[in-house]
Structure 1
Amino acid sequence: MELHIRLEGGKGLADQLYQQLRAGIDSGHLAAGSQLPPTRLLAEQLGVSRKTVAEAYSRLTYDNLLSAVVGRGTFISQRRAPQATPTTVVELAASASLQRWQQRATVLARPGLNSPSRYDFIGGASSKAQFPFDQWRSCMQYALRRSQRHPERQFHAQGLAELREAIAHHIAYARGVHCSAADILVCNGAQQALDLIARVLVEPGCRVAMEDPGYSPARQLFLALGAQLQSVPVDEQGLCVEQIEPGTRLIYVTPSHQFPLGMPMSEARRQALLDRAAELGALIIEDDYDCEFRYQGPTSDALQRLDRHGLVAYVGTFSKTLLPELRLGYAVLPPAVLRAACVAKHLSDLHSPALQQWALARFINEGYLSKHIRRCHEIYSARRGRILQRLQGDLAPWFSAVPANAGFHMSAMASPTVDVELLIKLVRKVEVGLYSLAPFFSEVPVRPGLLLSFGAIELLDIDPALDRVADTLRQIS
């Protein structure tokens, strides 16, 4: 990389070079410890004599701004950090808009993620101990070889055809979704899928309905786009469909594993939701975020399978099934929505990373994903069973589990005697991470309880963690 120096005229070149280097060092733009180019190289770059550069370097060395290390080169000396120059900040014309964005709640973006508790029931995270790193490494190496011989320099926003084919086969087998590769849009996680769908459907003032309690990042996204949001309550059968207001354009639901409470939507309620959407001409976003894992009862098909009018946008992710760092998801979209969303995707980030798409396609086609899900199903089932035993045992005086047959989290509703926020604060001191349901409620009255995820906590850690919770509950009771 060339050093940015601009010399003018043919006289005083050494002094110009000295002044510019000194100004860069004093301002901190040339950082302490950085190596300067050799005199011969810099002279060639600037089109001056080597003597000119050597003279400037010599003066800077005399000022203790440079130091020469034999056999290595010339380096900028360590100095005290320069004092910041006072600046006058001009208020931006868009300051009101910026303030609205800054005030948006980011419930799941927890600042304490870098220092988690020893025993953590954090939601949305899976255990890295189960992830098949060796198989993924081989798939990434395959992707690098593909990239090396791939003639294309640009990729379609919709995603690589082979990954979309692999996803179509997987979700047809695992979730009963009716689709082909042509119906799928590959995204950077489910959150981008929600963003793209909302971006092409939601205009300021239009009505969007979603569950309450519900998935807060979706709620904040719709509000940020100017939607008039209706918070629709849920009961033991799921979304209360009859309360969806006329004029609704978009309906967001988690029918297979309601977030955060966990119960599935009944078959009757699903059909009622599809009928209501047809009356309104509303699109339904079905967020099927973790339903590869089902532990008891008959497997329920995706809502999309029941759709006969092209009203369901099915959204899934591999961040929950595999690794949060993967950030790959997908949406199965009706044709008109797909075409618009592909344009929005192209304008947003052109396309999702091709290397990861090739690797994931290989991972699915080689059967690694199915094996991983089967292995994790057994592990998560054991963890879920142990938490249920404790909730139905010594923790029963304080908490009761909400029936949930899928995913890797459950909710536990608190008895009136439990101060959930105080409990969370106290158990944090004994290295247990618990999380309240309260942030997921919007307009309906908050039902105090806990979101207990068993994706990241090991089976042998559940009892020690819940022992500490039980001890704390006895103390505050």
Structure 2
Amino acid sequence: MPFHLFHLEAGSSRTLQQQIRSQLTAAILNGNIPVDMALPSSRKLSELLGVSRNTVIRVYELMLSENVIISRERSGYYINPEYRVQAVLPRSEASGNDKVHWQRFLHQKPSEQRNIVKQSHWQRYSYPFVYGQFDPQSFPVQQWRECCRDSVTEAAVGNWASDQLMDDPMLIEHIQSHILPRRGIWAKPEQILITVGAQHAIYLVSQLVLRPGDTFGIEDPCYVDVRNIAAARPANVVPIPLDNEGLIVDERLSDCDCIYVTPSHQFPTTVTMTLERRKQLLLKAAEDDFLIIEDDYEAEANFTGTPCPALKSIDHAGRVVYIGSFSKTLAPGLRLGYMVADEALIKEAHALRRLMLRQAPMNNQRTVALFIARGYYDALINRQSLIYKERWHLMQNVLARHLPNSTNPPTFGGSSYWIEGPVELDSRKLSELARADSILIEPGEVYYAHAPLLNCFKLGYSSIASDRIESGIDRLAQLINRHWGGS
């Protein structure tokens, strides 16, 4: 606690004792002083504040008599824990026109937007069908630790510790030569920008290409944060429905200035956009002159055969902004992604990123670059593919037994299933009932823009052990049968 920053006014109508007591009390009520931390001695505090020791002694004696503080023999003065609980004094002495009226200043309220709510401490649940989390048991801790250690050697530190604003050249090189070619994408270094996750890339693009009032087309259902990013711009958000071939390409796209798609593995339904539909979308974009943001969020999680090429790989006009991430392969907390686009857009995105956070953490960039260069990344992908494929088949068989006709297996792979329960089912209520039974699922209504289907929900399988999948689905099916009369 920086007691020396207490502001004492020599010409104030209040005495020095009153001022010191008032500021000490405010610090206690605000939680600025830990309960188990001894207050400075009277001699020390008097030196810090530049007042006489007797002044501080009288303040302490008064606060002691009022039970604000307590004395511990041979230890000093401490906050009375019961005082903070019982006190009803206001946190601020400001009143009337002195108070900030935040309604005047807050022109946006992102906190009021509908968002996905992730359950804290999901590891404590017996059946965590959560999406977007990683399995700590399959993560190569030793190899990651090795790369972290080598990224902070004296020679390596010189590459990333300075404020240079440029991305790690080793990581850019490996994305260019190793990651992107797997999706059929060939790019120059100046067409690649590192971001703090895929969501950061989406935000950058929306800020640069959307003016207030522009039309932004999104899939319906869709990734929630994309809808909220566009709404905050604010853009005119137009939901575009899906069928079993992906986003429907029709006249609803004609007025769009930009659209967002997840063609390889639609979020959240898992539908894969057919090659023919992708070609139709590119033709429509050329005819009506709009841009396409392609989020290839689970590009590496394919284990079902030859993957359909990325939309960007068949885009010859430069209309597609490709976004990738290391979150699903490595860990979501790493917050490292990238975008690939025409140099003109990357140049401006680089400048805008500088205004926001200058650059993605360079030590993380170098660690990931080393992780890829030493073959650990490929080994992790191969290991995850085997694990996910096993769980994918297991989920398919178990769902067919316990929740028949509720889903179609994802054709691309990925790490989740989209479930459609009985028409009368409310997935929000099901989520509450399931959580009480140590089962975590994600209700589907939040993914819809206007008319949500309450009977849909998402089951992730990246974070649940294979031997717990069947019993978890069985218990979930029992809840559905008990409350909504069957699947």
What secondary structure, in the 3-state scheme, does the structure 1 residue paired with 2:212 have? coil
TM-score of the superposition, structure 2-length normalised?
0.85
> Is 1:355 the counterpart of 2:363 in the alignment?
yes
- Which of 87, 107, 110 matches 1:101? 110
1:272 and 1:401 map into 2 onto residues whose CA distance is 24
- Which of 263, 270, 280 matches 2:271? 263
Superposition deviation, residue 269 in structure 1: 0.9
What secondary structure, in the 3-state scheme, does the structure 2 residue paired with 1:27 have? helix
2:363 and 2:153 map into 1 onto residues whose CA distance is 10
AA at the equivalent of 2:21:
R
Q: Deviations over 1:352-381 (max 9, x none)?
A: 112212211111111111111111110111
Instruction: Within 5 Å, give how 1:73-92 maps onto structure 2.
Output: 74-78=76-80, 80-81=83-84, 82-85=87-90, 87-88=95-96, 89-92=99-102
Superposition deviation, residue 148 in structure 1: 4.7
Asked if 2 retains the 8 angstrom alpha-carbon contact of 1:172 and 1:178, the reply is yes
What is the number of residues matched between the two proteins?
A: 463
Aligned counterpart, 1:22? 21
Aligned counterpart, 1:440? 447
> Is 1:126 the counterpart of 2:134 in the alignment?
yes
- Which of 341, 344, 352 matches 2:352? 344
Structure 1: gaps of 5 or more residues: none
Instruction: Within 5 Å, give how 1:245-284 maps onto structure 2.
Output: 245-284=253-292
Asked if 2 retains the 8 angstrom alpha-carbon contact of 1:140 and 1:359, the reply is yes
What secondary structure, in the 3-state scheme, does the structure 1 residue paired with 2:283 have? helix
Asked if 2 retains the 8 angstrom alpha-carbon contact of 1:127 and 1:455, the reply is yes
Aligned counterpart, 2:327? 319
Q: Percent identity?
A: 28
Aligned counterpart, 1:154? 163
Change (3 A) 1:443 1:151: closer
Asked if 1 retains the 8 angstrom alpha-carbon contact of 2:268 and 2:458, the reply is yes
Structure 2: gaps of 5 or more residues: none
Aligned counterpart, 1:463? 470
2:389 and 2:159 map into 1 onto residues whose CA distance is 42
AA at the equivalent of 2:89:
A
AA at the equivalent of 1:448:
N
AA at the equivalent of 1:242:
D
AA at the equivalent of 1:103:
E
Change (3 A) 1:425 1:40: closer
AA at the equivalent of 2:5:
H
Asked if 2 retains the 8 angstrom alpha-carbon contact of 1:165 and 1:180, the reply is no
1:151 and 1:443 map into 2 onto residues whose CA distance is 46
Change (3 A) 1:228 1:62: closer
2:236 and 2:267 map into 1 onto residues whose CA distance is 21
Asked if 2 retains the 8 angstrom alpha-carbon contact of 1:261 and 1:402, the reply is no
Using the TM superposition, name which of 292-301 and 257-266 deviates more: 292-301
Superposition deviation, residue 257 in structure 1: 0.5
2:162 and 2:124 map into 1 onto residues whose CA distance is 41
Change (3 A) 1:403 1:374: closer
2:423 and 2:70 map into 1 onto residues whose CA distance is 70
Asked if 1 retains the 8 angstrom alpha-carbon contact of 2:8 and 2:19, the reply is no
Superposition deviation, residue 293 in structure 1: 1.4
Change (3 A) 1:150 1:18: farther
AA at the equivalent of 2:4:
L
Instruction: Within 5 Å, give how 1:400-439 maps onto structure 2.
Output: 400-416=407-423, 418=425, 420-439=427-446
Aligned counterpart, 2:200? 192
Instruction: Within 5 Å, give how 1:49-60 maps onto structure 2.
Output: 52-53=52-53, 55-60=54-59
2:286 and 2:376 map into 1 onto residues whose CA distance is 39
What secondary structure, in the 3-state scheme, does the structure 2 residue paired with 1:399 have? coil
Superposition deviation, residue 470 in structure 1: 2.8
Aligned counterpart, 1:4? 5
Asked if 2 retains the 8 angstrom alpha-carbon contact of 1:33 and 1:78, the reply is no
TM-score of the superposition, structure 1-length normalised?
0.87
2:160 and 2:297 map into 1 onto residues whose CA distance is 35
Superposition deviation, residue 264 in structure 1: 1.1
Asked if 2 retains the 8 angstrom alpha-carbon contact of 1:410 and 1:453, the reply is yes
2:257 and 2:320 map into 1 onto residues whose CA distance is 12
Superposition deviation, residue 91 in structure 1: 3.1
AA at the equivalent of 1:438:
E
AA at the equivalent of 1:436:
P
Superposition deviation, residue 468 in structure 1: 0.8
Superposition deviation, residue 120 in structure 1: 1.7
AA at the equivalent of 2:377:
L
Q: Deviations over 1:205-227 (max 9, x none)?
A: 10111211211110111111111
Asked if 1 retains the 8 angstrom alpha-carbon contact of 2:210 and 2:233, the reply is yes
Aligned counterpart, 1:374? 382
Superposition deviation, residue 152 in structure 1: 5.4
